[in-house]
A and B are shown apart, each in its own frame.
Chain A
Amino acid sequence: MSFSTFVTDKDGLQKLYEAIISKHETYAPVEKFGKYDYKKVSSLKECDPDSPIAMTMSVKPLFFPRASKIMKYEATSAGTSIHETGQDQLSGPRVILGVKHCDARGLQVLEAVNKWDYIDSDFLNRRANTVIFSKRCDKADTQCFCTSLDYDLENLDALDVAVVSGPGGKVYLQARTEKGENFLKENLGKESAAGSQQALDEMKKQYEAFAASFRLKMDYKDVNEKMSKRFDSTAYEEATRNCVSCNTCAFICPTCHCFKISDEKIKDTGVRYKSYDSCNNVYFTLEAGGHNPRPAKYRRWRQRSMHKFVYYKERFGVNLCVGCGHCAISCPVNISIFEVVNHVAAAPMEV
């Protein structure tokens, strides 16, 4: 099935955004302390859908919240009772503006694990009810390497509507899914004429200029293959010696999905939460008996890199890393997963 392309200009796009915000429940990047995070907005003024990728948090918390309630409970001497947590605030129909392509791909990748042995209906519902507007970047940031990975960034279908800037202030809107197609047809005014072959050519040109602007490039197949053979490589130790084990990389990663369960309890009543966890954390594998299978930093890093580039690929056929560079940007000591995996792949084989 082929989807429509519409053409408009910057003002038209602003108007469309304003119309969406007034009609639908809308989330968009909102600046706070110099960093953009996705929040519910009531006007276009308070958000910036074109926020720079380096300063924007991932969109993952809108699908997999930093802390989500699992249940409420009451435990007294008379017994224990369990209550529902109430309506999920994130599961209603909604629109998210200004998502980055890599973030959208992150959601698509996560769908595989959420549909696996245990079906996470919350995550799937939230995704099914969301229309994602994603602007294709015009220029790659210093830590980006999304074009080097195993997905077609140009025709990515993890998002519903792609926004691409064309020459002379033109803006193209391209539906990528049925949901996006219907949404665009409902919400676009008459001023947005349907795009032609010329539009597709100009979008292609924009993509080529974008793809040429990358500093980081790698061959992901080579990395996948070489990493799977270098489990015992000392290269992990060399590349991650300056890591401070702070967990930031996992907490801001658009695809990390490990969580822990904890209770917030006041007297007899409590709420059970599912919150983020990180495999870079010393306690992550600590067992009740006191044994820790991953006591050293490089082993935890090995787990993290192998999960991104080997294990997930073996199980679900896709790389878990989407090349957004968020981890490298936020790392206090600037460790880049790109550098680590390439350092390991380039290391000599252990005999």
Chain B
Amino acid sequence: MDYSKQIQDIAAKLFAEGKIDVFVGYRMNGFDDNQVPVVINDPKEVPALVFTEKSVFNLSNYLKADHTRNKRVGLVVKGCDSRSLNLLLTESQVKRDNLYIIGIACEGVVDEKGQKMQNCIECIVPDAVVYDEMLGSPRGKKDYIVNADIAGLAVKGLVERREYFEEIFDNCIRCNACRHSCPLCYCAKCCIDQETATIYNGSNTASSAFHALMTWSLHLAGRCVDCRNCEKACPSHLPRIFCINRTRR
């Protein structure tokens, strides 16, 4: 899965025709084969754009940033990214007319060790659901696979489930990377930001983590599109933050 050339061509064309102000894509990080997201507003930077199976981060997250607000944006979306983008469109957070979306028929991305991401194994809609241009041949819908952790958690008793979550809250450092990496968390002020926290305290304790993560996941339950940007962003490698969302089914 390497669409670097096509994406560069499309981006260059869009800039040349004056259709976009900003392009959001990926570039190599410059020392190994991992990539970083990049927001470019200069056509000169277009040749740095790449897209391979290492393009992990969900770019629709950048649509809530200052750099792209009220601008015409071109961006690359995989299946999961396009689902979150679709939700942003549904909730009137971005204007469809302002976007030029390059959809990818995604074959799944890999982590730093080269292993396929768990959410890609479980992904049921790998093709972009909203796009102006599709790269790759569409793969169609796949069958729903129940995540082993969620299935295991669902049959556990209340006490065991509480222990499972308490372990997560104990290891949470309350940095809010999950909230800021979530493309659906577009609220300018969030009740789990420590400074605006009113219904619970903003301190860095396990009880605060409990309130924050639970409130956060309740707000996302039913909206979560399973891109797992939160999990990839978590510095404590807390497993399955999304799991809290999913267990509510």
A residues touching B (Cβ–Cβ < 8 Å)? 32-35, 37, 57, 66-67, 142, 215, 241-242, 244-248, 250-252, 260, 262-265, 273, 275-278, 281, 283, 286, 296-297, 330, 332-335, 339
Contacts and interface: CB of A to CB of B under 8 A. Distances in A.
Interface stretch (B94-102, B117-125, B198-206): B198-206
A262 B194 contact: yes
Contact of A252 (B205, B235, B239): B235
Interface string B232-249: 110111110000000000
Nearest to A55: B237
A318 to B, nearest CB: 25
A334 B235 contact: no
B37 interface: yes
B38 A275 contact: no
Interface of B: 29-32, 34, 36-39, 57, 61-62, 65-67, 167, 171, 173-177, 179-181, 193-197, 201-205, 207-208, 229, 232-233, 235-239
Given A35-B237, A215-B31, A283-B196, A67 B204 contact: yes
A33 B237 contact: yes
A247 B192 CA distance: 13
Main secondary structure of the interface of B (DSSP, over half): loop
A228 to B, nearest CB: 26
A276 B204 contact: yes
Which of A35, A296, A297 has the most chain B CB atoms closer than 10 A to its own CB? A35
Contact of A248 (B61, B194, B207, B233): B233
Nearest to B45: A238
B204 A330 contact: no
A214 to B, nearest CB: 12
Contacts of A275: 174, 194, 202-205
B180 A244 contact: yes
Contacts of B201: 262-265, 273
A35 B236 contact: yes
A260 B194 contact: yes
A241 B67 contact: yes
A62 to B, nearest CB: 14
A297 B64 CA distance: 13
A265 B62 CA distance: 36
Contact of A273 (B181, B205, B239): B205
